[in-house]
Structure 1
Amino acid sequence: MAFSKPDSGTKARRTAGTRLQPELRPGRGATANPTGRFEQAFREDFDDGWGTPAANIADEPIDDDAVLVRRPMLTPARTSVSREAARTLITYNTSPDIGFDRSINPYRGCEHGCIYCFARPNHAYVGLSPGLDFETKLFAKSGAVAALEQDLSRPTYMPRTVALGTATDPYQPIEREHRLTRGVLEVLARFHHPVGIVTKSSLVLRDRDILSAMAADGLVKVAISLTTLDAELARRMEPRAPHPQKRLAAIRGLSEAGIPVMVIMAPIIPSINDHEIEAVLEAARKAGAIEANYVLLRLPHELDGLVSDWFAEHYPGRRNHVFSLLGQARGGRSYDCQWGTRMIGEGPYADLIRLRFRLAKTRLDYAQQPFRQRVDLFRRPEKPGDQLNLL
């Protein structure tokens, strides 16, 4: 392994990364593991000829224009979970184009491995790669329940709906063991605090007991991310997320328990799943979803190179066409972070998607206005030694 200082070509090389051999990433979404954008050096693996059996060496290009290099075949990446101390759990934002000003993420990184996940670049903040590291090197926020109780107990705290699972899926596979999401929901239920959950996992059905009780008071809404009905496409895009039919079953199970459900088609990817808009909305409506929304593919920071590399492996003939359509909706760039348009884009292609989505929602009788959770029921549970209220 060699360490190099940045040079004029570093940014492109970091973004594209060195494509990893498929046997090193079974069941993973990322095809590469580029160095994070904040690192002062990037790494390249190379074989120095000492003790590496010829059978364990493979020829592989660094990128589409580079010569072949000799790379040793390493051990397949496994999921690891580290503890991250949480002194506070609620994160605030001032973004004018999203419907919440606070969020909770019990985990950092996500094993679902969705190649398109806009949160991948966040892993660079802890010195890790937004590529394979994002889905294999995970962090569980220890003390999350105590930290949330402390946040909500502050006398100055003013309740508003908190979004649970904005940068990582709160019901990813490690939740089965760590149960941080359930702990968070138990706290929110005790405080009668409104919450909106975003997930693509059927594991959310495990917590129907808490969610149905909160729904009876108008405190919860669950958004299920359903990007496609095509199982093969889902396996390639989001390899460790539940099957599309499992997500439809989750919508049905939550709806039958009296829990309001929104379906989110996020992201819509030109030439990949945009033809499924009407079919996805119809299937979700039949399962019980009452609201629907979408997001056009977003490619901030390293995600541009990661998604491009994924296309080169899975759909090489479509990559240029997809990025051309994205450019038409993003002012000639693959991504535009401008408020108000970053989620849906603008221009003829973006307008067409918007129109199709609106017409399908109307035809299928989706709600035109979002369900708003109640905030007036919030109360801090009394603790031993608390002074009694006069009123």
Structure 2
Amino acid sequence: MRFISEEEVYLSEKKFSLLKNLPEEIKTIMLGCDTEFLHNKDEAVRVLKELSTLGKDVSIITKLSLNDNFIKELKEISNEMSKRYNFIVFSVSIPCCESSKKWEPKVPNVEKRVNTLKRVSEAGINSMVAIRPLIPNIHSHEIDKIIDLTNPYVFGYYSGPLYLKEFDDALLSKKESGDLKLNIEE
């Protein structure tokens, strides 16, 4: 297994210079879609401050619980960006509720993520919920519960894929994968 260094994850000067040359058609920079951008909050703030000068909107997604100081810094960056007619969209990933301990054993629980979402929203930062990854055997009542818990704090929802190396990956038992009744071409 290869571990990724912080230097590879966060923005180096070389990477930032590439971002400065993005075509005008690219309006949004998305952070943390398949990683945890906010793992090192100090580095995340540094990167956000740099990105806020590029004239692009910034989308952040996390599963982490955030403290009030970080939310305050995020709001300050958001305020600076809005002066240039750009914005931050903050998303929390919540793919399930009742089964979250099974699917996400090492991340903050749903209640903590909803609380973070609430506080970010109350700070005046546009917020969304990412129902991702979209887990194939999650019941619709769990999706309904996510919406019930988060609706007051968000302006929208989106979903995303679940990546498996093999279809019968350990995430799904043989019975669960068989219950999906999918036609898989080999």
TM range (shorter): 0.7 to 0.9
Determine helix, strand or coil for the equivalent of 2:7.
Answer: strand
- State the one-letter code of the partner of 1:258: G
Q: Which residue is equivalent to 2:61?
A: 198
Q: Which residue is equivalent to 1:244?
A: 110
Choose the corresponding residue for 1:323, options 155, 163, 177.
177
Which consecutive segments of 4 or more residues in structure 1 shift more than 6 A?
A: none
- State the one-letter code of the partner of 2:155: I
Deviations 1:76-126 (A, max 9, x none): xxxxxxxxxxxxxxxxxxxxxxxxxxxxxxxxxxxxxxxxxxxxxxxxxxx
**In structure 1, what is the Cα distance between the partners aligned to 2:181 and 2:4?**
33
Q: Which residue is equivalent to 1:366?
A: none
Q: TM-score, normalised by structure 1?
A: 0.40
Q: CA deviation at 1:291?
A: 0.5
- State the one-letter code of the partner of 1:251: L
Q: Which residue is equivalent to 2:157?
A: 292
Q: Which residue is equivalent to 1:181?
A: 44
- State the one-letter code of the partner of 2:11: A
Q: CA deviation at 1:162?
A: 0.8
Contact 2:45 2:74 in 1 (8 A): no
Q: Which residue is equivalent to 1:162?
A: 29
1:257 lines up with 2:123 in the alignment: yes
Q: CA deviation at 1:292?
A: 1.0
Q: How does 1:372-383 map to 2 (within 5 A)?
A: none
Q: How does 1:49-64 map to 2 (within 5 A)?
A: none
Between Structure 1 and Structure 2, the one with more helix by share is 2
Q: Which residue is equivalent to 2:93?
A: 225
**In structure 2, what is the Cα distance between the partners aligned to 1:191 and 1:144?**
14
Contact 2:59 2:91 in 1 (8 A): yes
Aligned length: 179
Choose the corresponding residue for 1:144, options 6, 11, 18.
11
Name the Cα RMSD after superposition.
2.9
* Unaligned segments of structure 2, at least 5 residues: none
Kindly tell me: are residues 325 and 227 of structure 1, through their superposed partners in 2, closer, same or farther at Cα, counting changes over 3 Å?
same
Contact 1:224 1:264 in 2 (8 A): yes
Determine helix, strand or coil for the equivalent of 1:162.
Answer: strand
Choose the corresponding residue for 2:169, options 305, 308, 313.
305
Contact 1:151 1:157 in 2 (8 A): no
- State the one-letter code of the partner of 1:199: T
- State the one-letter code of the partner of 1:285: N
Contact 2:100 2:109 in 1 (8 A): yes
Kindly tell me: are residues 266 and 152 of structure 1, through their superposed partners in 2, closer, same or farther at Cα, counting changes over 3 Å?
closer
- State the one-letter code of the partner of 1:278: D
**In structure 2, what is the Cα distance between the partners aligned to 1:168 and 1:138?**
11
Determine helix, strand or coil for the equivalent of 1:284.
Answer: helix
**In structure 1, what is the Cα distance between the partners aligned to 2:167 and 2:52?**
36
Q: How does 1:1-391 map to 2 (within 5 A)?
A: 128=1, 137-141=3-7, 144-154=11-21, 157-158=23-24, 159-172=26-39, 175-176=40-41, 179-203=42-66, 206-216=69-79, 217=82, 218-230=86-98, 233-286=99-152, 288-295=153-160, 298-302=162-166, 304-308=168-172, 311=173, 319-320=174-175, 322-328=176-182, 332-333=183-184
Determine helix, strand or coil for the equivalent of 2:157.
Answer: strand
Q: CA deviation at 1:302?
A: 4.2
Contact 1:248 1:284 in 2 (8 A): yes
Deviations 1:122-172 (A, max 9, x none): xxxxxx3xxxx7xxx443225724234322344x75352011012211123
Q: Which residue is equivalent to 1:81?
A: none
Q: CA deviation at 1:325?
A: 4.8
**In structure 2, what is the Cα distance between the partners aligned to 1:190 and 1:269?**
37
Determine helix, strand or coil for the equivalent of 1:267.
Answer: coil
Kindly tell me: are residues 228 and 153 of structure 1, through their superposed partners in 2, closer, same or farther at Cα, counting changes over 3 Å?
closer
* Unaligned segments of structure 1, at least 5 residues: 1-127, 312-318, 337-391
